[in-house]
Structure 1
């Protein structure tokens, strides 16, 4: 829709569920749809690559994130080694104080061997004793101070890393949302015709939010965990290559467990987000058709459908979380086995004098630091799989076929006379089902073209082709001599205004809704348009006049008043071509008279296409087209078509002959003063005309 025309989105084909029953689109809703809920997952690897590929523009900041992570991890992994030295100082001082001063280390070791055996002697030799000395508290304080500084500095750098990373992920998601929003405006109307709105809304909101959360947590865990594993492994090898090799067994076991469990969890996460979209579509549909559900007493059925979709979502969500939740316990179990092995072997090495007790303590700490990030990497698969499942759905939207791009360079008509020509136009929604074939007609400037015919004849499709909501399969349509396919859509729609039977109003003031047809409109222009469309007649009865705020469905004004506002919006746009699609189908008789008079003013000096089922509204049309099955079967003026006695005459007779016959055959009351029967349709119309004339709304016919 062009904002400059005030044109609402075209009427779509009916979809399933309540939309097929009449609740197709809420006023102010807009044409949203989405993919179905049964799609298969794409390849996990390419999707991950594409998702992280969107971080390319953040390479500089990501470099800073990695560098800060390196510094934080280095400071963190140095802590256990230095803390092990503090343990050695305490242990050495405790043993040294038990020995007499003046004794040499060799004498102390020999005495221990003779009294306790070789194992205690080995421990004593490896402890770095100084007989007669106690705990070196200055050295202990300095060591603990260094550890404290290291841990504080590591935390500060980790916080800075998180701060930068938050900016990286939020900017990435911001660009993703921006791209999705731009994509929605490039999608053809056929995309929205075949898909429910709730599904697309779920992709634009829930899935992108899930991607944001997944990126925020997985990138942080990935950087820290990988750097921690590398840093801890280096420190392990500096202490004991034997224990380090034992710890390395954890890596292939963790990878194997993660791959085995993750493969099963991915299917569940894909199903989870697919069911989320389907449930959102169900909720949106039920909410939009709430009144219809109540009228037909179908709330039980709606509740059952909701319960079914909710149960499907519960099953997929529970399955995905449960299966992926097995990764961390499994990897922690492997880590605990390695921890026990290192504790036992480390104790034997201390007993043999090959290692100091502080080194074993440090190694055990490193074991925890080593297995924990591996377990985090495993559990990160939970978030990553969920995020990738959402990313696949968003990428499917971004990869959807777009409408044909505007030509470059584009042509533009020199004038704005509004001459329209259909030249052997062909169109079909589905290749195997032709709708319009070889349609030719000319709409001269200032003429009113009425299009009538049974439902499904192609009337609305005809005007949608004028707006290029759909692309032609054959032929061409020209505006003032220029092919519409050679014009930009913005230029074409700026020359065209639409007033539909589905009034489209957004949440805002009446003034803003009218001005939507012309950005930057002055108050005088808004008032003039409102007066021409008879909005000014009722707006002063509202509490705040033109500043009365309408809700997103225009619920605080009547259906006829909403229609008059949309006509005022078309007035202010001053289009050269006007399309009126059943604009009076949902209003009462008196309001219809006002709407018709407003539309008559609006049609002056403009080429107008009027789609109408009420033939009384188009008697004064310059040309009436009668369509059946996508073809024009008759054309002419009202009198000419009635005289021809063809399809138009049959339609006219079906609408007016039966009421007139019923009125003529109505029984006359037998007694004077007896109560009369119910008023006939003709009486109601006449009374409405008389009442309108008396009130000054219309001149008496």
Structure 2
């Protein structure tokens, strides 16, 4: 099986994000429009101030008088009304842009996280063997949050700067073309510097995102293995490892900060030159009478409104680059191909007889030799089959293939003579109940964990499944019975108790095919006996595969398959295999302590 490639797209991250958010484009354009209008009305007060100065200086000859309002006091009243209207509109559009951008940020963040999580669930198990859970959590949480922060504030800031540059540039060339070039001269240099910094920052922030993924992965791994860390007293060692990874993350941030922090001071010095030129040369023209005082006032205010916001471009580009680095990571995840295609043929569990056929199967995990080679095994419907063999002989691999966690390199696997690759994955897995060696319980009540996956089960059905699994007795002794909280991963229960809850969960599903994967490997003798009694009851009228190291677990199976080196070494009932005096018989004697026969 080929491993998942690392996805690298030639698209720009902003384009990838815009393509993804196509369902929100109407709201995006509404938010952009609100930001533009808010900034236009925000730029109007300097014009009103200039007009007011023009009224005071020129009186009946002012610009307002040219509009037909000749009385000076009436001109001031007119300006007051215009000011009230403009500030009111500015407030309306400021509210609109804030409301739209913030809700867009939350909506896109929500949809991205759900889509990314749903895509992760559809990926085959091989993908998870190549990725750390902490790295995936970093994408689902930290990277998507970075994007949310940019949409919440940075997007509006970029649009505001661009709107300011366009509006003020147009106003300058209309009011005073001779002075305009002085205010505009720094802008090309500022824009060139901005894009140059953007290109330099992009790889540094991409490295930052990689490092935070590694750090989260190490932290998640350590927290899940805290019992092992404590038992081996390796707290200092693990702290040193976290310190090392955290230092790498800090160093990656430091390199990005060194560059991003230099942006604003450098741009500020370029900006001040344009402001001084407008202040001095425009003032000279006003003193010579070549430029109206009101217009000069507007130019000074407009220059400040144009140039000083550019000093914040450093912070905005910092937000932007962090967000785009995160966007690439999220989009790369979403574009990771799903290697296991869903079949189109439906399957009703109630109609499944349960015959299973491994037909000439060859399979190996990525970059390893094949575990199964031309493997062929027919399991009749309703049969109970024991599967035993040495570690690495392929026992659990059979289960992974039957559940389509992996695909074989060659051969065909069928249920009731139907190729499982043609079956709907959900229907296939609903027809199979799995009791794994590694029992996973969710944080919740005992009842919640038994009913997991069969969410419409009644309390009576849950209790009946627990009784079949011989879990009802210990559940009754818990503080709140079926409503007792089991804690994260079920850590408040013993291994045997967790195993019996897992059996009850599978039985509640009532599947036609039932799999026990090393269900008794880590339990005591009493628990094994209880599980064995459960097996004797629940295997009736259903196909059952029992994978076991303890041969006592499979002794009563209809037939037992002994695996060795990717194939079947022996096959038969317990008595037949004992009589054959092969590997199974020797292992049976070791486990039962029949030392006398070992000498034979």
Q: TM-score, normalised by structure 1?
A: 0.79
Partner of 1:198: 134
Of stretches 196-205 and 213-222 in structure 1, the one that deviates more from structure 2 is: 213-222
After TM superposition, give the deviation of residue 346 of structure 1 in Å: 0.9
3-state SS of the aligned residue for 1:433? coil
Partner of 1:290: 226
* Residues 183 and 277, structure 2, Cα contact 8 Å, conserved in 1: no
3-state SS of the aligned residue for 2:385? strand
1:336 lines up with 2:302 in the alignment:
no
After TM superposition, give the deviation of residue 184 of structure 1 in Å: 1.3
Of stretches 597-606 and 275-284 in structure 1, the one that deviates more from structure 2 is: 597-606
1:81 lines up with 2:81 in the alignment:
no
Partner of 2:393: 457
- Out of 267, 270, 281, the residue aligned to residue 345 of structure 1 is 281
1:587 lines up with 2:523 in the alignment:
yes
Alignment deviations for residues 401-434 of structure 1 (CA, whole Å, 9 cap, x no partner) = 2032223355678932211111111111126621
3-state SS of the aligned residue for 1:424? strand
Number of equivalences:
591
Alignment deviations for residues 124-150 of structure 1 (CA, whole Å, 9 cap, x no partner) = xx999xxxxxx9566446535533542
3-state SS of the aligned residue for 1:610? strand
Partner of 2:447: 511
Alignment deviations for residues 558-583 of structure 1 (CA, whole Å, 9 cap, x no partner) = 21111111111111111111110111
Q: Which has the higher contact order (CA 8 A, sep 6+)?
A: 1
Q: Cα 1:498–1:411, aligned 2, differ >3 Å: closer, same or farther?
A: closer
Alignment deviations for residues 467-497 of structure 1 (CA, whole Å, 9 cap, x no partner) = 1111121111121121111211112111111
Unaligned runs of 5+ in 2: 65-70
Partner of 2:67: none
Distance 2:226 2:497 in 1: 22
Distance 1:127 1:412 in 2: 82
* Residues 517 and 572, structure 1, Cα contact 8 Å, conserved in 2: no
Q: Cα 1:41–1:254, aligned 2, differ >3 Å: closer, same or farther?
A: farther
3-state SS of the aligned residue for 2:43? helix
Distance 2:84 2:250 in 1: 47
Distance 1:594 1:408 in 2: 40
Larger Rg: 1
Distance 1:76 1:549 in 2: 57
Partner of 1:57: 23
Alignment deviations for residues 59-111 of structure 1 (CA, whole Å, 9 cap, x no partner) = 32233323333432332222212201223344568xx9xxxxxxxx9xxxxxx
Distance 1:482 1:470 in 2: 18
Partner of 2:427: 491
- Out of 324, 338, 342, the residue aligned to residue 402 of structure 1 is 338
After TM superposition, give the deviation of residue 335 of structure 1 in Å: 1.0
1:559 lines up with 2:500 in the alignment:
no
* Residues 8 and 332, structure 2, Cα contact 8 Å, conserved in 1: no
Distance 1:207 1:127 in 2: 53
Alignment deviations for residues 546-567 of structure 1 (CA, whole Å, 9 cap, x no partner) = 1112212112222111111111
- Out of 197, 210, 213, the residue aligned to residue 261 of structure 1 is 197
Distance 1:85 1:524 in 2: 82
Distance 1:348 1:502 in 2: 83
Distance 1:334 1:41 in 2: 37
After TM superposition, give the deviation of residue 202 of structure 1 in Å: 0.8
* Residues 413 and 482, structure 1, Cα contact 8 Å, conserved in 2: no
* Residues 208 and 252, structure 2, Cα contact 8 Å, conserved in 1: yes
1:430 lines up with 2:385 in the alignment:
no
3-state SS of the aligned residue for 2:12? helix
After TM superposition, give the deviation of residue 386 of structure 1 in Å: 0.6
After TM superposition, give the deviation of residue 362 of structure 1 in Å: 1.4
Alpha-carbon RMSD: 2.8
Partner of 2:124: 188
Distance 1:315 1:272 in 2: 9
* Residues 450 and 609, structure 1, Cα contact 8 Å, conserved in 2: yes
Distance 1:162 1:517 in 2: 42
Q: Cα 1:246–1:194, aligned 2, differ >3 Å: closer, same or farther?
A: same
* Residues 413 and 481, structure 1, Cα contact 8 Å, conserved in 2: no
* Residues 247 and 338, structure 1, Cα contact 8 Å, conserved in 2: yes
Distance 1:592 1:40 in 2: 47
Partner of 2:257: 321
* Residues 349 and 427, structure 2, Cα contact 8 Å, conserved in 1: no
- Out of 355, 360, 381, the residue aligned to residue 445 of structure 1 is 381
After TM superposition, give the deviation of residue 278 of structure 1 in Å: 0.7
Distance 1:300 1:77 in 2: 59
Distance 2:172 2:21 in 1: 34
1:208 lines up with 2:163 in the alignment:
no
Distance 1:458 1:137 in 2: 95
Q: Cα 1:148–1:35, aligned 2, differ >3 Å: closer, same or farther?
A: farther
Partner of 2:179: 243
Distance 2:204 2:337 in 1: 28
3-state SS of the aligned residue for 2:569? strand
Partner of 1:634: 570
Partner of 2:547: 611
After TM superposition, give the deviation of residue 363 of structure 1 in Å: 0.6
Partner of 2:479: 543
Q: TM-score, normalised by structure 2?
A: 0.92
Distance 2:216 2:369 in 1: 32
Distance 2:280 2:213 in 1: 53
